[in-house]
Chain A
Amino acid sequence: MDNEKLNLPGYEIPEDLEHAVAITTLDRIYNWGQRSSVWPLMFGLACCAIEMIAAQAARYDMARFGMEVMRPTPRQADMMLVSGTVTKKMIPAIVRLYNQMPEPKYVVAMGACASGGGPFKEGYNVVAGVDKFLPVDVYIPGCPPTPQALIAGMIKLQEKIDKQSLKTVRWYKKGADTVEIPVPILGPDLIDPRRNAEIKSIAAAQKG
């Protein structure tokens, strides 16, 4: 619903109150509040982080979207911008940070590496995309994405937030407040505890 329609929803508003009273839906005002203050976690992994800083700086100015308040602690962050190559050594820390973020939380995979491994996919220490572990909301292509592309991705995230409904969002459902993702373990290679049985059976079947 655009602003025009929202201000004229069919209810009769007395003329002298027309500019003081607005009628809206609960979903819409909730989403409007959330989309206008998406605070990213202050956390940069690699090259993309530099473009993230550039997008925060004067020329591109992400503050226009309510996204300039970088929070160094996950407890205050709404969005995790995975800006760079996710390595096997780093992923336990990333999963922990994600688990520590309160709901509602979003994950944006910035750049080729975070989306799917990128140019380093073949590397032995590289996780081929952060979506192997975290639920990703928006992928931003590029190596690194320009600040314009990053901002376009942020606008996509806002569009996604606009479509939320209080009835269906996961953080108001019954059960635990957040879903904990099991923290990967550093073994002879990266162990995802969710795949323990699978790893065991394949390792038993393979030849020396």
Chain B
Amino acid sequence: MTTTPLTSTVDLVARFPGFVTADTRPGFTGFIVDKNKLVEAATAIRDEFGYDLLTAVTGVDYFPENKMEVVYHAYKITGGPGLVFKVQVPRTDPVEVPSLIQVYAGADLQEREAWDLLGIKFTGHPDLRRILMWEGFEGHPLRKDWQEPFYEEDFKPFKSRWPDGKIEMAEDKNPYKDNLKFPQNFDPEKWIPEGDALLYGSLAKYTITDEHGLKSDRIVVNMGPQHPSTHGVFRAAIVLEGETVLGLKPVVGYLHRNHDKIGERNTYLQNMPYTDRLDYFNSMSNNFGYAVAVEKLMNIKVAERAEYIRVIMAELSRIQNHLVFVGMLLNDLGAMYTPALYAFEERELILDIFEAAAGSRMMCNYFRFGGVVRDLPEGVLQKIKDLVLERLPAKTDEMERFLSENEVLVSRLQGIKVINAEDAIKFSMTGPVLRAAGVPYDIRRADPYGIYDRFDFDVAVRQHGDLMDNYLIRIDEIRQSLRILEQAIKQIPEGPINSQKPQYQVRVPAGEAYGRIESPKGELAYYLISNGKPNPWRYHVRPASFVNITALEKISLGTKIADFVALLGVLDIVMGELDR
């Protein structure tokens, strides 16, 4: 049931006496490592203790205590609970922490995010630029003393929103009558935008002339943020020679909607609808992850019937995600629209079920702490049965019949390497991409949450790690999800759908929790810190898409630009989750 890391299995304190202490704050786990021993300790954690998958890196601003903390979550690729280690530094600029990029390559983008939003400088990071905001932006927004232009109060519910019949517009309280904030005596006419100089600077090593002194035609092409194959507002700055990709940097943040900052002002329940909008294909999975994290903090059990409803919804969500994935991948490969139309036909049927249960097609807001918000209406279970037992298996077969042996598809996909197992672990990749590389790591099995330990299913895994395997593994996963659904429909009991009383504000004891689930795109985790108040002190989303593109540079070097489109396609990114 519980996935709270069992720190007793590892004795880091004995390994580094004097430099490591156990985190003894009530509700907290893990170890606090001295900043000067961090790289050494992380190396030992990876090599000696075997925690080879660093899933999350994030910072916490303990403003009242005047310190900053960086939190690392490491797991073993063979499964089991994780290890949390932290570094604490004083909160006076420059806040400096050594970078772990040499030990865990997957820390790259997450460290850049912590620098951007919290102003924690990771010394030794080779390319520490802002990532979600732009260069030149004033301040580090996630710091507790940084206030956004529409700031009203530290915590919701705001007094201006109480229903006393008066509405106050946020615009009226801001001197610029807009969502703007400038330093004193700022003169816009004298401002010189930094633009993308640093970005192109980081690509400079790829644009040098070759050893014979000939000036060759290496050009930088910006793909995106508006581009049909980038799945939203993703941008890649690519150095090309002919059609070959020589260098690449992902540029993200075009859909940075400040989930973390808004989430820290919200009450716990108010965050539930915001999670819907992270990975907007899978609002049910997002709800699941958040509910798991908060329930861990609250230490409550989930009503039995609700557990089954949750699994049914999460797996239906996975099926429609993978169907749409196949449709969109084919779009990227040039088979415009037809496969996507097939996928969307089935997706609509699954969305009908979501709409019947939750009231909304896409933004379900269906989970509550301790259960779900309402029971399945009459007839919906029968609809799910018809879909799961009859229609979806037939349609999956149909899709495979049309596609899997299609000559054009096979020649575009087979043998084009995405990533091998070793690198995938190094870059903290999770989800289908990792499993297609031959690593059978699925959180539903490796670190079970909910009631996944009751079902009989296989972790889909493929061995080659090429594009074809990445396509096929999605089909495999649809079949496994159907297996889980079959069992869940059979076993679902009658009973209450929430173990708690319905309430707008929940009492959450102080402490930290890291709730992780296997979302259709990989590991989706929420890191929460509560100080006993109605609002989380820290609300951090660790999305699969964001961490998975850490390896994008590595996997696309040397490929053809047409294959890069497919490589980006199989990573299955969604910008709402990537940029947050």
Contact = CB atoms under 8 A, between A and B. Distances in A.
B362 A185 contact: no
B504 interface: no
B127 to A, nearest CB: 19
A120 B348 CA distance: 27
A186 B225 contact: no
Interface of B is mostly: loop
B280 A90 contact: no
Nearest to A193: B188
Given A47-B576, A89-B256, A199-B176, A208 B184 contact: yes
B228 A126 contact: no
Contacts of A93: 225-226, 254
Nearest to B256: A125
A54 B344 contact: yes
Interface stretch (A1-9, A38-46, A150-158, A159-167): A38-46
B134 A186 contact: yes
Given A57-B345, A58-B344, A47 B233 contact: no
A203 B149 contact: no
Given A97-B226, A128-B179, A121 B185 contact: no
A189 B181 contact: yes
B232 A46 contact: yes
A72 B227 contact: yes
B255 A46 contact: yes
A148 to B, nearest CB: 10
A49 interface: yes
Contacts of B162: none
Contact of A119 (B138, B150, B228, B277): B277
A84 B141 CA distance: 22
Contacts of B261: 123-124
Interface in A149-203: 185-191, 193, 195-196, 198-200, 202-203
Nearest to B232: A44
B233 A90 contact: yes
Interface in B108-134: 132-134
Interface residues of A, number: 58
B431 to A, nearest CB: 20
A207 B175 CA distance: 11
Contacts of B227: 72
Interface in A107-122: 117, 119-122
16 contacts: A47-B280, A51-B361, A58-B341, A59-B345, A84-B255, A85-B257, A89-B254, A119-B273, A119-B274, A124-B148, A186-B193, A187-B136, A187-B191, A193-B188, A198-B176, A200-B188
Given A72-B228, A90-B255, A124-B141, 10 more contacts: A46-B232, A46-B576, A57-B341, A123-B261, A125-B133, A125-B257, A188-B186, A189-B137, A195-B176, A199-B188
Closest 5 CB pairs of A and B: A123-B258, A188-B138, A57-B344, A47-B280, A124-B148
Interface of A: 42-47, 49-51, 53-54, 57-59, 72, 84-85, 87-90, 93, 97, 117, 119-128, 132, 143-144, 146, 185-191, 193, 195-196, 198-200, 202-208
